[in-house]
Amino acid sequence: MKGARRPRTAVLIALCGAGLALVNFPLLALWDGDATILGLPLLPVALFLIWGGLIAALALASEGGEGGAGQGGEEP
Amino acid sequence: MSAKVLIADDESNIVVSLSFMMKREGFDVLVARDGLEALGLIRRERPRLVLLDVMMPGMNGFDVCEAVRADAELRDTRILMLTAKGRDADRARGIGAGANAYVTKPFSTRDLVAKIRDTMS
Amino acid sequence: MISPAVVLGASFGYLLLLFAIAAWGDRRAAEGRSLIDNAAVYALSWGVYCTAWTYFGSVGRAATSGVWFLPIYLGPMLAMLLAWIVLRKMVRISRVYRITSIADFVASRYGKSPLLAALVTLITVIGIVPYIALQLKAASAGFHLLTGAPGSAPAAAWWRDGVFYVALALAAFAIMFGARHLDLAERHEGMVAAIAFESVVKLAAFLAVGAFVTWGLFDGMDDIWAQARTVPELSALFRLDGGGEPFAYAEWFSLTILSMLSVLLLPRQFQVMVVECVNERRIRRAAWLFPAYLLAINIFVLPIAVGGLLVFGPGAADAETFVLSLPLSQGAAAIALLAYIGGLSAVTGMLIVETVAVSTMVCNDLVMPSLLRLDRFGNRAGGDLTRLLLNIRRVAIIAVLMLGYLYFRIAGEAYALVSIGLISFAAVAQFAPALFGGMYWRGATWAGAFGGLLGGFAVWAYTLMLPSVAKSGWLPIGLVEHGPFGIELLKPERLFGLTGLDSLTHSLFWSLLVNVGLYVGLSLARAPAAREASQALLFVDVFRRGGAEPVFWRGRARLDDLKALARRFLGAARAAAIFEEEARGFGPPTPERVADARLVDRVERQIAGAVGAASARVIVASVVQEEPLTVDDVLEILEEASQLRGYARALEEASAELRAANEQLKTLDQLKDDFVSSVTHELRTPLTSIRALSELLLDAPELGPAQREEFLQIIVAEAERLSRLVNQVLDLAKIEAGGAEWNWTEVDLRALVTEAARATSELFRERGAAVALDLPDTVPALRADADRLMQVMQNLLSNAAKFAPRQGGRVEIALREEGDGLVVSVRDNGPGVAPEDRAGIFEKFRQGGDEATRPPGTGLGLSISRQIVEHLGGKMWVESEPGRGACFAFRLPLHPEREPHERESADR
């Protein structure tokens, strides 16, 4: 496994917490409004944007090549 | 008309001795101080013979030799490599690059002249 | 309308294509060129998460309640954020201990309990069969809609029902590619390749319909929205409290959590993610590709839903079939057929994987344990059982599918698509505490897991399953409305008077509360027994073990018994392979022909791959004499294993050090070789001129005096160069080897610099360069070797003279006191040193400047100078910007740390 890229545990857990908060009450209520984005209603657009953002963040955390050091005791 | 010889070496004192010898042998002597200049002169002046030092700035002798051998128009050019590097690997590299002969510095002037005559015939 | 023959033809054509792809995948796997060892294919196979329930149901849900279709996909997104942590651990555990199903996983963790395995299997079957029925219903409904037959109910007798034959074809597929041979890892590459292909098909079809609706029927998404805005009940779909009721945040949250758990716990997900995983490192990329797939397949859900409502008018058509009815209503038969094939791919993908997964559980955890109790099957009955095992698996596949079909025939009209999916989700969510808890909590026990599962399942059945059965009219509805025997507190959807929650959240809350409560409570009530404790260690610490795994088994086993057992359950060839490999690795068996614990464990694991961990335990236990383990034994074995691991690590470290030392030696060797080669070159070059010119002088008496003198001058110069070089090489060698003589005295650096400048003034005058001295009046004396320092100064100054331009050359020599040291700098205004050369300029035979134009030198001066300065406890460096001159400087400490008189004298 030497030199293998792997995402950092703490980053993933933080992302998951952020995701859970962003798509649930009370933040969910923030995306609920009459406004439009590029002629599209705010709520679904916001949810899809958060979704896409999480995917991008996960991709970055996974592929960014953060070194394998400091992974805690979970690795051989 | 006498044949042209190109002496490619970055050591001016060696060039002095080589050009003296070549003139005595009846060649027209051209001099290049680095690999690129040598290649340019070979393409422009088409010397019959090139005395090519290996350790030259810019482009080394091996690369010059390979470039000449890759050019069909220059295929008649005789190349004699001169080097102060005496390792077997360097020698093999020189022959591999397509040199007609390979002489280690310091050389005996008589041997060198004999080898040049040999190469030209 | 499309003729039934065309639809049927296309459907079976599609199924044939699936067979072909699966066959290809299997062939590639056999050739060792896996099709599916690839993050994209792996992620696509996870797309089996999207069933007909997504394909048709999402649009239906969006048409009635707007963004409510989303939590089912946001949950997996959140779960995937943790995939690298959680899923990878599941995969690793399953691979190491040959776990082939979720029931196996849970049972294995809690002491390989057959009872627990059976319970998990039972929950799965009860939870999943309606879901299978639902898929068949979707295929049937789609078929009827497309061909224009009235209603979606299976009107014809079963033998004339196309869905029946679809189910049969799928059973054939599952048998061919899911149970053709007994694979110990239970991996089916062909099947996975076909599933990945199905994911592509359903995504492409759904996107095609989405694009058709958005840009074919409307003028883009904003157009749909603009039109929807004018209809009040449609614009409400884009708000949280659209229905007029307050937004059910609790339900939204529970849906998110529920789908987060389901994406890992549904039998089909466990199958494709864990069991079929070829390479756990693929998880890294698949974890974000999969949510991206989900996002793509959901982009057009709202446009299709709202578009359909605009075209047909609210309530005028069944929104769950908009995907088909919208293109059909516009006469786009080809799009409609494509949409149907997409839906069919969603149906078939789910059915195939789910059936294979469930049938494995049914075979290993329900049928095998009962068979093992039969005498005929008892321990001493010989014969190869692999064929029997396969046949059980095949029968189980057909049975599961037919059970689903039966359910569909009987209850076809009873449920809406969405509710049944959620009921299934809630059922498998009951596995979460036992499964995830068992991966991270060593103290969890069998009793906790069993109690939690049973309790959670009971509450689920009472609060969710029972009401839906009652609402279908098979039980008196009064049960739900007034509670059993009229006891209001026991109303299934208002348990103990808990109100304010929707029925799903209500059920999920109570069932998981009971589940977790019992799991934790019972686990804490009694310490784990030895077998549970040992399995807990194996699971929780799976990443900590590298090779030296503890084997928690003590007893006696005869080698021949073990061999016979392996032959029966694994087949002769595979059994022979195991024992051969064992003999290769650990030498021939002992004369007493007794198997050690490691071999027993190994055989048990292999058999576990075929029949599940719990059954394998029972089977192996029947032929060996096992000594019961105590918790102390477990700890002792663990201790031994960790000592072994310690030795292995020490050995590894030692060999790593050796490797490093060897590398270093090789590097030194290379450096020495390079040095010798360079020195040789530098010696031969002047020798060449000397020899050639001397020979020419000898051979040519006719030379003129001018020529003669030129040659002789060159010879003298080159001879000087040669001796300089020899001196420097020797000097360097001495300094490097520590053999040089150092004459430590008090040195006045100001006087020394002045003297050096005076000594080299001739060089500067020749070059026409101006020299400026910038010296303080006095500097403290320091201890150093004056002669060596003079050598350094002269070298720096002659370098400066060489590189100063021929016109306007200027060299500045400065001396100043800095901290507790003195700094000398020599600055010229020559060409300078390029940044890339700066690091190497002090190395031997590295000379500054272009070789063609630089002044002659040996390339050793700077190297020697730096060695001297460093030996005196100082350091030397260069500052330069190309084109703006170079500044060589060195700093010497006033009080050098080492002034090793004793060593210097000892050296002499």
Q: What is the per-residue pLDDT across C248-259, written as a single tens digit (0 to 9) for each?
A: 788 888 889 999
Given this model, what pLDDT does residue B59 score?
Answer: 81
Token match 């020697």: residue? Answer: C864
pLDDT of residue C73: 92
The CATH architecture of the domain made up of C4-373+383-418 is Up-down Bundle (1.20)
C460-496 burial code (b ≥16 CB/10 A, e <16): bbbbbbbbbbbeeeeeeeebbeebeeeeeebbbbbbe
- Average pLDDT of the residues in A13-34: 82
Give the model's pLDDT for residue A75: 38
Question: How high is the pLDDT of residue C291?
Answer: 93
pLDDT 10s digits, C80-137: 999 888 999 999 888 888 888 899 899 988 888 888 999 999 999 888 888 888 888 8
Question: In the numeric block, which tokens belong to residue C826?
Answer: 């020599």
- Residue C557: its H or E element: strand C555-558
User: Which residue in C410, C429, C326 sits closest to C56, CA to CA?
Assistant: C326
Check CB contact under 8 Å for C685 and B16.
Answer: no
- Cβ–Cβ below 8 Å for B105 and C717: no
DSSP C590: P
Q: Which residues of B touch C717 (CB under 8 A)?
A: 13
Give C99: exposed, middle or buried? Use CB within 10 Å, 0-12, 13-18, 19+: buried
CATH code, domain with B94: 3.40.50.2300
Q: Which residues pair with C816 in a beta bridge?
A: C823
Contacts of A74 in chain C (CB under 8 A): 543-544
ipTM higher than threshold 0.95: no
CB–CB of C731/C844 below 8 Å?
A: no
Stretch C707-727: mean pLDDT: 87
Name the DSSP letter for residue C231.
S
State pLDDT tens for residues C593-643. Answer: 666 777 778 888 888 877 777 778 777 777 777 767 776 777 777 676 667
Q: Is C689 helix (H, G, I), strand (E, B) or coil?
A: helix
Residue B109 has its nearest CB partner, among C695, C850, C852, at: C695
pLDDT digits (tens, 9 = 90+) for C362-392: 888 888 888 877 755 554 455 677 778 888 8
Residue C587 confidence (pLDDT) = 61
Three-class SS of residue B9?
coil
Residue of A nearest to C283 (CA): A62
Q: What is the pLDDT of residue C726?
A: 85
Say if residue C860's pLDDT is above 70.
yes
User: Is residue C86 a contact partner of residue C100, using CB atoms and an 8 Å limit?
Assistant: no
Q: pLDDT digit string (tens) for C802-855?
A: 888 888 888 899 998 888 889 999 998 888 887 777 777 777 665 554 444 444
Residues in chain C with CB shorter than 8 Å from the CB of A25 are 249, 252-253
CA C74 to chain CA centroid, Å, is 21
Residue A21 lies in a domain: yes
* Residue C492: cis peptide before it, omega within 30 degrees of 0: no
Nearest CA in chain A to C298: A48
Q: How many domains in chain B?
A: 1
Residue from the list C677, C693, C718 with its beta carbon closest to the beta carbon of B85: C677
Distances (CA, A) of C438 to B67, C89, C443, C450, C533: 69, 11, 8, 12, 11
In CATH terms, the fold of domain C745-907 is Heat Shock Protein 90 (3.30.565)
Q: Taking CA atoms, what residue in C is nearest to B21?
A: C696
Q: Is residue B50 part of a domain?
A: yes
**Average pLDDT, integer, range C683-708:** 87
* Span of C276-280, C598-602, C900-904 with lowest mean pLDDT: C900-904
Average confidence (pLDDT) over C766-780: 86
Residue of C nearest to B107 (CA): C688
Residue of C674, C685, C709, C845 to mutate for B, most B C-beta atoms under 10 A: C685
Amino acid code (one letter) for C505 = T
For residue B33, what is the nearest residue in chain C, using CA coordinates?
C852
Mean pLDDT of C493-510: 80
Do C97 and C186 form a contact (C-beta atoms < 8 A)?
no
Q: How does pLDDT run across C650-688, given as a tens digit for each residue?
A: 777 777 887 888 888 887 777 777 777 777 878 888 889
Distance from CA of residue C64 to its chain's centroid? 39
* pLDDT value, residue C418: 52
For C889, left (φ over 0), alpha (ψ -120 to 50), or beta? beta
* Percentage of residues of chain C with pLDDT beyond 90: 13
Residues of A in contact with C546 (CB under 8 A): 76
Please list the residues that pair with A41 across neighbouring strands: A36
Q: Is A54 part of any domain?
A: yes
| CB crowding C215-247: b at 16 or more within 10 Å, else e | eebbeebbbbbebbeeeeebbbbbbbebbeeeb
Q: Sign of the C-alpha dihedral, residues C37, C38, C43, C48?
A: negative
Residue A4 confidence class, pLDDT cut points 50, 70, 90 = very low
Q: Report the distance separating Cα C763 and Cα C757, nearest Å.
A: 10
pLDDT at C224: 86
CB contact under 8 A, A13 and C240: no
Chain C residues touching A5 at Cβ < 8 A: 284
Q: Which chain A residue has its CA at the smallest distance from C257's CA?
A: A20
What is the structure's pLDDT at C725? 83
Residue B120 lies inside a defined structural domain of this protein? no
Is C318 a residue whose pLDDT tops 90? Answer: no
Q: Mention the CATH class of domain C634-737.
A: mainly alpha
Q: Which of C695, C717, C852 sits opposite B57 (nearest CB)?
A: C852
The subunits that touch chain A, with at least 3 C-beta pairs less than 8 Å apart, are C
| Residue B99 domain boundaries | 4-115
In the structure encoding, which two tokens stand for residue C712, read together? 């002789």
C677 interfacial to chain B (CB closer than 8 Å): yes
Buried b (16+ CB within 10 A) or exposed e, C412-424: bebbebbbbbbbb
Indicate the pairing of strand A40-41 with strand A36-37.
antiparallel
Domain around A28: 9-63
C87 at interface of A, judged by CB pairs closer than 8 A? no
Select, from the ranges C88-92, C139-143, C158-162, C628-632, the one with the highest average predicted confidence (pLDDT): C88-92
One-letter identity of residue C816: R
Which of C 530-559 lie inside 8 A of A, CB atoms?
543-546
Specify the long-range contacts of residues C592-596, CB closer than 8 Å, at least 24 apart.
Answer: C593/C558, C593/C559, C593/C560, C594/C556, C594/C557, C594/C558, C594/C559, C595/C557, C595/C558, C595/C559, C595/C562, C595/C624
The answer to whether C620 faces chain A, any CB pair under 8 Å, is: no
Q: Is B13 in the C-facing interface, judged by CB distances under 8 Å?
A: yes
Least confident of C265-274, C727-736, C832-841: C832-841
Place of tokens 């809406």: C416
> Which residue numbers of A have CB closer than 8 Å to C's CBs?
4-7, 9, 12-13, 15-16, 19-20, 23-25, 28-29, 32, 34, 36, 38-44, 47-48, 51-52, 54-55, 58-59, 62-63, 73-76
Q: What average pLDDT does range C469-497 have in this prediction?
A: 75
Grade residue A73 by pLDDT with cuts at 50, 70 and 90: very low
In angstroms, the CA C269 to CA C641 distance is 34
Answer yes or no: is A52 within a domain: yes
Residue C202's nearest CA partner among C329, C293, C131 is C293
**Of B88-102, C72-86, C208-222, C427-441, which range is least confident?**
B88-102
Phi–psi pair at B107, nearest 5 degrees: -110, 160
Q: How far apart are CA B83 and CA B92, in angstroms?
A: 12
Of B57, B84, B104, the CB nearest to C850: B57
Interface of B with C in 69-88 (CB under 8 A): 84-87
- For residues C482-493, give the mean pLDDT: 75
Residue with the bigger pLDDT between C894 and B5: it is: B5
Domain boundaries, chain C: 4-373+383-418, 430-542, 551-629, 634-737, 745-907
| Burial (CB count within 10 angstroms: exposed 0-12, middle 13-18, buried 19+), residue C576 | middle
CB neighbourhood size of C580 (10 A): 10
Predicted confidence (pLDDT) per residue in C170-195, tens digit? 888 888 877 776 665 567 888 889 99
List Cα–Cα distances, C334 to C11, C337, C662, in angstroms.
14, 5, 70
For C:842-901, CB contacts with B below 8 A are 850-852
- Would you state the pLDDT for residue C831? 82
Contact (CB, 8 A) for C514 and C459: yes
Does residue B28 have a pLDDT over 80? Answer: yes
The token pair that represents B82 in the structure block: 């001169």
Half-sphere exposure of C808 (CA within 13 A, CB side): 4
Subunits in contact with chain B (3 or more CB pairs closer than 8 Å): C
Count of Cβ atoms closer than 10 Å to residue C676 Cβ:
11
Q: Is residue B86 part of a domain?
A: yes
pLDDT in tens, C205-219: 999 999 999 988 888
Average pLDDT of chain A, as a whole number:
74
Which among C56, C352, C347 has a CA at the least distance from the CA of C193? C352
Q: What is the mean pLDDT of residues C28-40?
A: 82
Cβ-Cβ contacts under 8 Å, A59 against chain C: 288
Q: Which residues of A touch C545 (CB under 8 A)?
A: 76
Q: Into how many domains does chain A fold?
A: 1
The 8 Å CB, 24+ separation contacts for C647-651 are C648/C546, C648/C547, C648/C548
User: What are the residues facing B28 on neighbouring strands?
Assistant: B4
CA distance linking residue C509 with residue C694, whole number of Å: 104
B16 and chain C: CB distance < 8 Å anywhere?
yes
Average pLDDT, integer, range C455-474: 84
The answer to the question of residue A43 being in a domain is: yes
With an 8 Å Cβ cutoff, is C211 touching chain B?
A: no
Is residue C865 within 8 A of residue C877, CB to CB? The reply is: no
Cβ contact (<8 Å) for C714 and B55? no
As given in the structure block, the two tokens for residue C673 are 């070789």
Confidence bin at C905 (pLDDT 50/70/90): very low
C735 vs C400 pLDDT, higher one: C400
Question: Has residue C518 got a pLDDT over 70?
Answer: yes
Q: What is the pTM of this model?
A: 0.64
Q: How many whole angstroms separate alpha carbon A75 and alpha carbon C546?
A: 9
pLDDT grade, residue C589 (50/70/90)? low
**Residue A73, domain member (yes or no):** no
If 0-12 CB within 10 Å is exposed, 13-18 middle and 19+ buried, where does residue C248 land? buried
Model confidence at C422, in pLDDT bands (50, 70, 90)?
confident
Closest residue of chain C to B105, computed from CA coordinates: C688
Q: Which of C244-248, C281-285, C528-532, C569-573 has the lowest mean pLDDT?
A: C244-248
- Of A29-38, C38-47, C136-145, C397-406, least confident by mean pLDDT is A29-38
